[in-house]
Structures are given as structure tokens and as C-alpha cells.
A and B are shown apart, each in its own frame.
Chain A
């Protein structure tokens, strides 16, 4: 079973997605059990894959060959190849875990709306799209799964069809995604025109860095940077995350991080042998610093709780770009790489996982507030801590984690980024610390407005959230605390192999050729 894990990870969510409306016709409970069962089995498959890949060898799967590892029968790769190395498995673990927690949360959150079967089907297609993008070994498969991801997300953002704002946000999202996807396809065409190859490993070993290759790199970087929400291409993020249902905002964060992973795959593996990597590294660093600062300064202004968290998602994406950008900028310089480059990349990659967890928790608590009070406006809420104590505690944990306070997980990854970026350039580290302080400031304001203070008259009788929603938030909060108290287990076991897999791209290439 291990050798077919990769293709099963794409096939099982798709199959489950298409059977969900069928299960819904029979009964709602059957549909809930079907969705949870399929997500648990996908989680099991990812864990089996993770145990083997992190142990050492990269898993490859050729679709349509006689046996799965027959990637290059004639010396060059043919057919569609799926490849899983440590960073891909890291992203897959995050995606599937988040999809599972979010579907547990959605069991009660979404039940009073009409087309819930389409919601779960689209959620499973979104998971399939994310897993396909993570594991794809060639550029065109990446494009196809990126578009699959975008179309499924657009359907989910427009879930509240009775409100005009969600439709407008979904329209903006799909226009942005269509433009980004077309630019990516355009650059895939450039690369195919030059080398006649679509496979990432094959192109990266045949790359000659002509003028057209640099143009292809620019289109790819711009397209994927737009999809992951880097400033100044971040304007759609607040609309899309703010108008989607709360659990969907949480999984859209992970969809953006998968686009970030695709950006890293291109910078580190596809253009691995690019001379003068410092320029690309500094571009990523500039994207990161702009995202951090502009994200958080826009976030302090907001009075809508979901838009505020969306701008914070932009800001935290800046941290990941900064960390990995510093690693990219010093990758040619071995002494600097050993001194702080690897640590910066570990910080950036660890931040991806931490951000998925605490931003997911924050969006789910915002969803809990909206579920019980029916309003998103912070000025209308107040004094909810007495009625919803667990939600308040989870929100507090999430805000402390996002601001990087010890002993929670945000502190662990942010400390890695601060220390290594300080050795690279002290000014960037100081900006990062200032952004953390502003993050804490904005969440203090939100906590006071939403949970403390006096309760308005219409919110006197609200109750705590249902148990399934509380369970989902509790799982995420537990992981926040665990990863904060014992970060070395996670860093040594998951993050460090992932960061090394990005840097040592020859292993990726040798697995295919």
C-alpha cells in the first residue's frame, strides 16, 4: 500500500467528494459520517507516507507505468510523475489535518443552511486540489490542481448566496485566480518551448538560464505571489477571507500556504542552479517585509472581525517569506548558510505550520462568535466572555500565539526567524519585532471589544458553542500549547528535514532521473 499512497491521496478525496451528494440524499448523518471517515482515512494515508519519507527516501509515483517507480524508462522522465519529499509531506500533513478539524467544526456550524452537501463536496475537492498541488512533480499538473483549488475555493467563498457581499468577494477571488493561473500557464509554455520538458526535475537539470527562462521565472513568481497574498498583490485576501464562512477562511489560509510552497518549489528546486540567487532572495525578502508591515497596519484599522484576521494572515505570510527569503539569499554562501541560513529556513517553514494552526483557531473562534451573536461588527459586540468562556480562552491562546508570546508555538518559530534574520540584516529583524508588537496591540483591542466590557441587551441570553465546534477549537489549542512547550521535537522531526529538502535539490532531481 505504501507505494500507491501518493496517487491514493489524490484519488480518495475526489472519490469521496463525488459520493457526498449521494450520501446526503440518503441521510444527513450518513453524509457527516462519510465525510469524516474519508478525511480520517486520508489522514492515515498521509501519516503512513510521512513516516517513510521523513525516514529518508523520496517517494515517486508514475501514473500509468508498469510499476510506480519507473519514472525514466528511456533516460528522460515521461508520463505524469508525483513526487513526495520532506517539505511536500510537511505541507500535506498540515492540509489534511486542517481539513479534518474544519469538517468537525462545520458539522454544527453549517447545518442550518441549505446546500450543505455541496459544501462538503467542495471542501473535499479543495483538499484533493491542495494535495495534488503539493505532490505534483511537473509544472502543468501544478497548474491544473491550482485551478481546481481556485474554483473549489470560489464556490465556497460564495456560500452565503443570500448576501451580496460574498458574491462580490467570490467574483474578485476568481478573477484574481484566473489571471494568476493564466500567467503560470504562460510561463509553463515558455519552459516547454525551450526544453520540451514539463517535469520539474528534468527542467531543473536542463535549465540554461537564457533570457526567456528569466521571463518565465518572473511570471511564475508573480503568479504564485498573487495566489499566496503577498503585498502589493494582497488586496483580494481581506475580501475573500472576510466574506467566506469561518471554517472556509481557515482552510483558505492553508490554500494560500500551498501556493507559497509552490513558490518555494520554483525558487529552490526548479531554478535551483540559478546564478545570483541573492537577487531572487532579496525580492522574496522585500515581499515579506512589505507584507508584514502593510498587513498589520491595515489590520489595526478594521472594525470587522474577519477582515482584521484576514489582514493578519497577510502579515504572517510576510514572516514566512522573510524567513525563507533569507535562506534563499544566502544559499550560495556556505558559511553563512550554516551560520544562520538553515535556521532562517527552519523558522520560515515552522511558521507555516504554526500559522496554519493559530490562524485556523482564530478564524474558528470568530466563527463561533458569529454563530452565536449573528454579527461580525466589533462595535456591536461586547461582554461575551461570561457567556462563552471557552471561546474566550481559545481566542486568548490564539492571540498570544500570533503575537509570538512564549510558551506558545508562535514564539518558537518567530524566535528562529528573529535570531537568524538579525545576523543577516538587523533592520529586518527589528521590523519583524515591531510588527509582532502591533499584532499584539490589535488583538488586545479585539479581545476587549468582543469579550470584555458590558454585554448589549440582545446578547444576554447566548450560550456557549456546541460541543463539536468546541472540540475542533480545542484540538487546535492543544497543538498550539504542545508545539510551544516542546518545539524541538517538531523542529528536529518535521521541519529540519523539510528545510534541508528545499536546500538540497539534487535529491529531488535524482529521485526522478
Chain B
């Protein structure tokens, strides 16, 4: 029986892929990347959870059952990287709208 957070992860990542393949607005593509990133971050954090664990910040811990701190560090790094990517994508969308006048993926100026 897969627990609830993992099902949420699968739903989020599939939502991200669905929007990337089928949605034609550039802003929705950015939202899809952000949703997929949130899914992966949730996956990483959920991996570290231990039943009945405390936060790994104590020196004199009430009990030694702590959640894993490494994945939290990985998730923080991933959040920062995804902020940079989303900011870059949004600034590119501003300039693309200024040049092409349209946010449709099908209306592109680049001839194949």
C-alpha cells in the first residue's frame, strides 16, 4: 500500500507532464514545470520521513528517532535551482510576448 504523499507525487508529476504535452500557452508550460518541481521536491522530503520522528535540530534530543536531514538539504537546493529556472523562463516569456505578440506555442517565428 503506497502511502498518501507518494500518490500525491505521482499525481503532481503526471499533471506536469500532461500540461507540458497538451497545453499551448507558454505561461501554462511554466506552471507545469513548477508543479513538476513541487512534485519532485515533495518526493524527496517524503523519503526522509520516519514514523514518530522529530526534527533533526536537537542537541539533547527527546528521542533518537529523527527524520533524515540529507533529503531536506537536497530539497532546499532543488527549490533554489527551480526558482532560478522559473524566473528565467518568465523573463523570456516577457520578451517573447514583446517580440511575437502571442503566447501560443504554435505561433513561432523560428522556421524549421
Binding site for B on A (CB under 8 A): 140, 144, 147, 150-151, 154-155, 158, 161, 163-165, 167-171, 174-175, 177-179, 181-182, 185-186, 188-189, 192-193, 196, 198, 238-239, 243
Residues of A within 8 A of B85 (CB): 147, 150-151, 174, 177-178
B81 engages A164 (CB within 8 Å)? no
Q: When A170-B92, A179-B33 are in contact, do A192 and B71 touch as well, CB less than 8 Å?
A: yes
Chain A residues within an 8 Å CB radius of B68: 196
Interface contact A167-B96, CB-CB below 8 Å: yes
Who on chain B is nearest to A301 by CB? B112
Interface contact A171-B47, CB-CB below 8 Å: no
B13 touches A186 (CB 8 A): yes
- Beta-carbon contact of B100 and A174 below 8 Å: no
Given A164-B100, A182-B37, A186-B40 in contact, is the A140-B93 Cβ separation under 8 Å?
no
| Binding site secondary structure of chain A | helix
> Separation in Å of the A10 CB from the closest CB of chain B?
16
Please give the distance in Å from A475's CB to the nearest CB on chain B: 32
Using A182-B37, A239-B110 as known contacts, say yes or no to A140 and B74 having CB atoms under 8 A apart.
Answer: yes
Q: How many of B's residues come within 8 Å of A, CB to CB?
A: 33
CA distance A167 to B102 in the complex (A): 13
- Please determine whether B108 and A168 come into contact, CB atoms closer than 8 angstroms: yes
Chain B binding surface, main DSSP class: helix
Central interface residue in A140, A168, A170, by most chain B CB within 10 Å: A168
Closest to A175 in B: B29
B85: nearest chain-A partner, CB-CB = A178
Q: How far is the CB of B20 from chain A (nearest CB, A)?
A: 7
Q: Which residue of B lies closest to A188 (CB)?
A: B74
Give the nearest-CB partner of B96 in chain A.
A167
Q: By CB atoms of chain A within 10 A, which of B70, B85, B92, B108 has the most?
A: B92
CA distance A161 to B99 in the complex (A): 10
Q: List B92-112 residues whose CB lies under 8 Å from chain A.
A: 92-93, 95-96, 99-100, 108-110, 112
- A171-B26, A182-B37 in contact; A189/B20 too (CB < 8 A)? no
Bound: A181/B29 CA distance, A: 16
1/0 per residue, CB under 8 A from A, across B27-69: the answer is 0010001001100100110010000000000000000000010
Check if A189 sits within 8 Å of B47, measured CB to CB.
yes
